[in-house]
């Protein structure tokens, strides 16, 4: 009896498996059944992008595995084929590591994922009272305004909290080129950066810092980006270009794509997945909404991803069908 029960339980399972196989056979015909390993980092936006991609690949019949990896250390794994796909390499912070990795020939750039990275100096809205000229950057030149942003260690200069040294960003150069009375202090890590913002915001204390988007901070805190002269490639390379004729970096930070980067062998091992990954795009507005749902409204990443999948079936089935 138990044996019969077991078998009868198994039969529908086998049937459904067969159906699942036959529907996806077209896409994943002679492809490997090994799992495609996607890397997860420690910020919500990336978790969402990666799991969206993962869900799409699952719908196409691929086996998917998520591996927690450090943003920069992951390149070693991508080069050796231990890892297969990273969904968010930011033009603004990951360029060096990505270029070094692409140069080995073992890693492939799978195109932009549609998100636009924005990074700039940012201040909470209440700072406008002390510094009425903002968001125009020239307001920061006013000594009274700089003093409003100062602390005991930097006074009379203002204090600007930059990102970790590893992010680059040329803020020291920018301060010099635009002759701003500010001192650049580097936070060691992303978490420290936002811990300072949270602390200042709770006390309505002055703070001027590096914020990037897509991120939950611009949604949670009321504030604005400083408007610097618009970025251009010449502004960074040619001293003559821009406001200051003698110095480069006399403009704002660049906007940038966020790239999908994968193991070079992905194309041959899972050709269909390779196409689907290249087709994947999403935009800032959608992303901002999903990040807010997770980080501020307390939903789980899985639930938000499932909602998106349900609402956008036409879009993602197009990516798989190609």
Which chain residues interact with other proteins by CB under 8 A?
Answer: 33-37, 40, 42-44, 47, 54, 58, 62-65, 67-70, 72-77, 79-80, 82-83, 96-97, 100-101, 151-153, 161, 164-166, 185-192, 194-196, 198-199, 202-203, 205, 216, 295
Give the whole-angstrom CA distance, residue 38 versus residue 245: 46
Give the whole-angstrom CA distance, residue 303 versus residue 291: 12
Give the whole-angstrom CA distance, residue 280 versus residue 48: 13
CB 44 to other proteins: min, Å: 7
Give the whole-angstrom CA distance, residue 158 versus residue 208: 9
If residue 111 lies in a helix (H) or strand (E), which one and from where to where?
strand 107-124
204: left (phi over 0), alpha (psi -120 to 50) or beta: left
Q: Judged by CB, which is closer to other proteins: 194, or 280?
A: 194
CB 133 to other proteins: min, Å: 26
Q: Judged by CB, which is closer to other proteins: 196, or 227?
A: 196
CB 211 to other proteins: min, Å: 14
Encode burial over 220-241: b for 16+ CB neighbours within 10 A, e otherwise: ebebbbbebbebeeebbeeeeb
Q: Judged by CB, which is closer to other proteins: 152, or 310?
A: 152
CB 155 to other proteins: min, Å: 11
Q: Judged by CB, which is closer to other proteins: 125, or 205?
A: 205
Give the whole-angstrom CA distance, residue 15 versus residue 38: 30
CB 230 to other proteins: min, Å: 28
CB 224 to other proteins: min, Å: 21
Q: Judged by CB, which is closer to other proteins: 55, or 138?
A: 55
CA distances from residue 15 to 8, 10, 11, 22 in whole angstroms, order as listed: 11, 9, 6, 11
CB 58 to other proteins: min, Å: 5
If residue 107 lies in a helix (H) or strand (E), which one and from where to where?
strand 107-124
Contact 183, 209 (CB under 8 A): no
* Interacting residues of 213 by C-beta distance below 8 A, sequence separation 6+: 117, 118, 119, 284, 288
CB 43 to other proteins: min, Å: 5
Angle of CA points 208, 209, 213, to nearest 5°: 130
For residue 20, give the nearest of 62, 53, 61 by alpha carbon: 61
Q: Judged by CB, which is closer to other proteins: 92, or 244?
A: 92
Q: Judged by CB, which is closer to other proteins: 44, or 113?
A: 44
Q: Judged by CB, which is closer to other proteins: 116, or 166?
A: 166
């Amino acid at each position: 009896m138990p044996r019969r029960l077991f078998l009868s339980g198994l039969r529908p399972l086998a049937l459904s498996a067969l159906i699942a196989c036959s529907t996806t056979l077209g896409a994943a015909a002679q492809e490997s059944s090994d799992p495609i390993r996607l890397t997860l980092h420690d910020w919500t936006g990336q978790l969402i992008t990666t799991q969206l991609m993962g869900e799409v690949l699952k719908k196409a019949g691929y086996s998917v595995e998520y591996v927690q990896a450090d943003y920069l250390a992951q390149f070693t794994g991508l080069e050796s084929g231990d890892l297969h796909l990273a969904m968010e390499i930011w033009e603004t912070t990951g360029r060096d590591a990505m270029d070094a990795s692409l140069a080995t020939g073992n890693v492939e750039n799978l195109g932009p994922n549609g998100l636009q990275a924005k990074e700039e100096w940012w201040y909470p809205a209440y700072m406008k009272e002390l510094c009425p000229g903002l968001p125009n950057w020239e307001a920061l030149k006013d000594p009274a305004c700089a003093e409003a942003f100062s602390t005991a260690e930097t006074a009379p200069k203002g204090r600007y909290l930059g990102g970790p040294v590893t992010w680059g960003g040329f803020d020291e150069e920018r301060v010099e080129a635009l002759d701003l009375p500010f001192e650049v202090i580097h936070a060691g890590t992303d978490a420290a950066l936002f811990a300072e913002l949270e602390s200042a915001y709770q006390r309505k204390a002055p703070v001027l810092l590096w914020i990037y988007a897509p991120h939950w901070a611009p949604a949670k805190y009321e504030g604005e980006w400083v408007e610097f002269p618009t970025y251009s490639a010449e502004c960074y390379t040619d001293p003559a270009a821009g406001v200051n004729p003698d110095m480069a970096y006399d403009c704002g930070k660049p906007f940038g794509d966020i790239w999908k980067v994968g193991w070079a062998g992905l194309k041959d091992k899972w050709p269909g997945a390779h196409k689907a990954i290249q087709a994947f795009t999403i935009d800032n507005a959608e992303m901002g909404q999903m990040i807010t749902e997770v980080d501020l409204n307390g939903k789980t990443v899985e639930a938000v991803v499932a909602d998106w999948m349900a609402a956008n079936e036409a879009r993602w089935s197009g990516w798989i069908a190609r």
